[in-house]
Amino acid sequence: MALFLKTRHETKEGYGFPSDYAAAETISTREQAEAQDDIITQSNIRLLIHQAANQHITFSTAVLNDPTSDELQSYIAGSAILFMDDSQENSPVAGVDIKKLLDKNRIPVEKIQ
């Protein structure tokens, strides 16, 4: 299963890529930014589906909006291993401490880039 976690109230970050100013200036509202995030998420899901099909792997995806700790727990319960974007382990999602949740479940985590 591939989980995509989305939070309604993301921490604002500085802008570090001046070469992308033109693209950044075209997104003027939060709604437009969220729509762009949704497009990227759907693109990533299609890529995973394609890669899995090429490897004859059956899997499912879920997009969780502002998940609670209990919701995440229900998805990862019984997992033998988790693969996680290594930049996200220490980032709280919707107030859920991902590292604490993983430590509690003692599930091995393979970090990917």
pLDDT at 75: 84
Please check whether residue 99 lies inside any domain of the structure: yes
Mean pLDDT, the chain, rounded, equals 76
- Look up the domain containing 101 and give its range: 2-9+59-112
Among 83, 86, 91, 89, CA closest to 109: 83
21-36 pLDDT per residue, tens: 555 556 567 788 788 8
Could you count the other beta carbons within 10 Å of the beta carbon of residue 6? 16
Check whether 11 has a pLDDT greater than 60. no
For range 66-87, the mean pLDDT: 80
Q: Which residue has the higher pLDDT, 54 or 15?
A: 54
Please check whether residue 45 lies inside any domain of the structure: no
How many structural domains does the chain have? 1
Please check whether residue 103 lies inside any domain of the structure: yes
Confidence of residue 79 (pLDDT cuts 50, 70, 90): confident
Could you identify the residue written with the tokens 């998420």?
41
Q: How far does Cα 25 stand from its chain's mean position?
A: 24
